[in-house]
Amino acid sequence: GQNIDQPTEMTATEGAIVQINCTYQTSGFNGLFWYQQHAGEAPTFLSYNVLDGLEEKGRFSSFLSRSKGYSYLLLKELQMKDSASYLCAPRNQAGTALIFGKGTTLSVSS
């Protein structure tokens, strides 16, 4: 079966660092994507990991451990505009479609 687990909600303050964890179980594995989605808007691509380790992209970094079925998204120097849902989406080996969890809603306050 397929299962993705992320915290439902997180809160943080401007300028802080926050880590959003994701654990997953899929039928095979073909990489993991992180997307950001503001309410009522389209998901926008943040990062892609297929090998173990950390991928850094500006204020955002994403980490993957395939053996543990675990990933996290690290957001640094938080800004108010980072308030959004963050979706962890592994891709199983069989197909090319993404499997989305329900996402983590992050609220950033001043």
Partner 1 sequence: DSGVTQTPKHLITATGQRVTLRCSPRSGDLSVYWYQQSLDQGLQFLIQYYNGEERAKGNILERFSAQQFPDLHSELNLSSLELGDSALYFCASSLGGGRTDTQYFGPGTRLTVL
In the bound complex, what is the minimum distance in angstroms from residue 95's beta carbon to partner 1?
5
Q: Does 87 bind partner 1 (CB under 8 A)?
A: yes
Q: Evaluate whether 10 touches 34 at the Cβ level (below 8 Å).
A: no
How deeply is 22 buried, as exposed, middle or buried, from its count of CB atoms within 10 A (0-12, 13-18, 19+)?
buried
Q: Does 60 bind partner 1 (CB under 8 A)?
A: no
- Which of 44, 65, 79, 109 binds partner 1 (CB under 8 A)? It is 44
Q: Outline where the chain has alpha helix (H).
A: none
The residues binding partner 1 (CB under 8 A) are 30-31, 33, 35, 40-45, 48, 50, 87, 89, 91, 93, 95-103
